[in-house]
């Protein structure tokens, strides 16, 4: 039987996205934007370009998400002291509270999907997925910068 790991990973991601979108409907943010909020919380002062690279998404997508988070009062931008064009991103108090809820949901979802795996299996899976993530990120950067993949 041919394995299709990417399809399985996609199915897992879509299922968890759908659950989170339903559970967090009242805050009018999708799960993708949760990732931006939590990443900004974990990296106070990050700039949008670095955030985009860290999440392996393009600048336009990042700019849209950052704008929505700012409009909802969840993050704020502060100008750099040396270069006023550079804007550093910070989570507001309202954003901190929401980020805590998101983190709780994430911990719960992780536990749900990892049921039946012992500590060793969880560590193995985490290590394997980290390698897959690194490979995907490297490919994304290669293609984003004009590289052509040979199939």
Name the strands in the sheet holding 46-47, side by side, starting at the edge strand that comes first in the sequence: 46-47, 87-91, 75-79
Note the maximum CA span of the chain. 58
Bridge partners of 90, per DSSP, are 76
Kindly state the DSSP code that residue 99 receives in the 8-state scheme: H
102 — pLDDT class (breaks 50, 70, 90): confident
CA distance 130 to 82: 36
CA distance 73 to 121: 40
Q: Is 85 exposed, middle or buried (0-12, 13-18, 19+ CB in 10 A)?
A: exposed
108 — pLDDT class (breaks 50, 70, 90): very high
Say if residue 17's pLDDT is above 90: no
Mean pLDDT value across the chain? 91
Say if residue 1's pLDDT is above 60: no
Q: What's the average model confidence in pLDDT over 9-17?
A: 91
pLDDT, tens digit, for every residue of 42-100? 999 999 999 998 988 889 999 999 999 999 999 999 998 999 889 999 999 999 999 99
Tell me the pTM: 0.79
Q: What's the average model confidence in pLDDT over 142-150?
A: 93
Q: What's the average model confidence in pLDDT over 14-30?
A: 81
18 — pLDDT class (breaks 50, 70, 90): confident
CA angle 27, 34, 42 (to 5 degrees): 130
* pLDDT > 90: percent of the chain: 66
Token pair recorded at residue 66: 């950052």
pLDDT, tens digit, for every residue of 125-134? 999 999 999 9
CA distance 46 to 71: 18
């Amino acid at each position: 039987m041919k394995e299709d790991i990417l399809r399985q990973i996609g199915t897992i991601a879509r299922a968890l996205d759908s659950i989170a979108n339903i559970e967090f409907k009242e805050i009018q943010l999708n799960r993708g934007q949760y990732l931006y909020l939590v990443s900004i919380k974990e990296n106070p002062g990050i700039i949008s370009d670095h955030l985009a690279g860290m999440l392996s998404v393009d600048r336009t997508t990042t700019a849209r998400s950052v704008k929505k988070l700012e409009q909802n009062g969840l993050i704020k931008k502060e100008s750099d002291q040396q270069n006023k064009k550079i804007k550093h991103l910070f989570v507001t108090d309202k954003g901190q509270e929401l980020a805590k809820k998101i983190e709780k949901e994430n911990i719960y979802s992780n536990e749900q999907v990892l049921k039946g795996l012992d500590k060793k299996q969880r560590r193995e899976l985490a290590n394997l997925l980290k390698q897959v993530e690194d490979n995907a990120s490297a490919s994304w950067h290669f293609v984003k910068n004009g590289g052509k993949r040979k199939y």
